[in-house]
Structure 1
């Protein structure tokens, strides 16, 4: 991997995905802790740090009363798992400090977050850290099936291929994006292809499923989930899909082609 070439935000996201995946794998094995007395189904889901471009953090609350949490910021790599309980005003995360981990535990064994509709607010060092609930792919698919046609926003799909192989085909939640040549220092290698749809006025972030293959007729197809953050521009025209060598994916709504997030040389469209 070319970690030194990632943006700071990309490094944070990559590290967060790595250790959160380890925590999720072990989440089902937490034992010896009482089930939370109150865990409304409306609270279940994934919450993403909002408004911090140089940090990455997620909290995921599971229906079985367990949670995983991770944060990467500067020199801080922090993560935890345990049990949660909540109501219409707050969510309490009880950290299982007995679980071995590769990152530091939070400074407190109990994390208290205030609830504001679909937002969770944590106080850290006299600052409010705000998490926004992500809309799941399942929820978005259902909304797209029932929404009025005039409320669907159409954008082009543009692929960025940082792997070492030509991608013959990819799609985002079933919307085809065509092929993607290998990226260069100035080009992502793909698109634009019509079309991807989202809903006008929808809250962000929300989850999509990205699939890609080097051989569309024989496979195999690789799959990764990604979250579309709130657009930074007023009228998005394309959804960029950045596929990295380690098979993690980043997506973003933009109004024009962004520079590649990893600058990699190539011999031609098909060879590094």
Structure 2
């Protein structure tokens, strides 16, 4: 004899709810025709994160809303200082302005420690900074890049572009400063 299976709402309820939700997302009908107001575009774009470092310090790492942007040397007249990393997502129709959270290694200092064998070794200690940046636009029709521009005065600007921009500031490449000793860095 084959055992009879019991009907269980707990097993089928998620599917019923899913199909109900999908049916609710269908366009409204009026006289057999679709509604005249099209839904806002929501096409996602995968953006390459590009960093531009106009400061006098190497930036070991940065992120935008948690998406890693890599590391950056100091920008030169022809180079941003960093390469592109993957990925940030932009969805068409996102209302502007948008606030994005940027976190970066603002400074690295060298600390000399002696291990249990009496060997003196240099270690690096990072100091992080964070800043909320308001992006007001514009957004091109086919966005490909999320650019993060770090300025010498400490402010950050974000741009979404189709093609990578050339550096916006032309600074002397000799301005790069080596890491300080931790005892020289004020907390």
* Residue of structure 2 in register with 1:231 after alignment: 138
Of the two, which has the highest radius of gyration? 2
Which one of 148, 156, 159 corresponds to residue 252 of structure 1? 159
1:151-170 CA-partner distances (Å, limit 9, x unpaired): 43210100000110100100
Q: Say if 1:170 and 1:178, in contact at 8 Å, map to a contact too.
A: yes
Gaps of 5+ in 1: 1-149
Distance 1:233 1:202, change over 3 A: same
- For the pair 1:262 / 2:169, whether they are aligned, the reply is yes
Which one of 61, 64, 68 corresponds to residue 172 of structure 1? 64
- For the pair 1:191 / 2:98, whether they are aligned, the reply is no
In 1, the alpha carbon distance for the partners of 2:132 and 2:167 equals 20
Report the secondary structure of 1:264's partner residue.
coil
* Residue of structure 1 in register with 2:45 after alignment: 153
Residue 251 of structure 1: CA displacement? 0.3
Report the secondary structure of 2:45's partner residue.
strand
Residue 266 of structure 1: CA displacement? 0.8
Return the TM-score normalized by structure 1: 0.41
Distance 1:197 1:218, change over 3 A: farther
Q: Say if 2:45 and 2:143, in contact at 8 Å, map to a contact too.
A: no
- For the pair 1:212 / 2:104, whether they are aligned, the reply is yes
Q: Say if 1:171 and 1:210, in contact at 8 Å, map to a contact too.
A: yes
Residue 219 of structure 1: CA displacement? 2.0
Mapping of residues 1-272 of structure 1, within 5 Å: 151-213=43-105, 214-215=107-108, 218-267=125-174
Return the TM-score normalized by structure 2: 0.59
Q: Say if 1:169 and 1:215, in contact at 8 Å, map to a contact too.
A: no
In 2, the alpha carbon distance for the partners of 1:154 and 1:189 equals 22
In 1, the alpha carbon distance for the partners of 2:170 and 2:92 equals 34
In 2, the alpha carbon distance for the partners of 1:248 and 1:237 equals 23
1:121-165 CA-partner distances (Å, limit 9, x unpaired): xxxxxxxxxxxxxxxxxxxxxxxxxxxxx8432101000001101
Gaps of 5+ in 2: 1-41, 110-123, 179-187
In 2, the alpha carbon distance for the partners of 1:202 and 1:224 equals 21
In 1, the alpha carbon distance for the partners of 2:164 and 2:43 equals 25
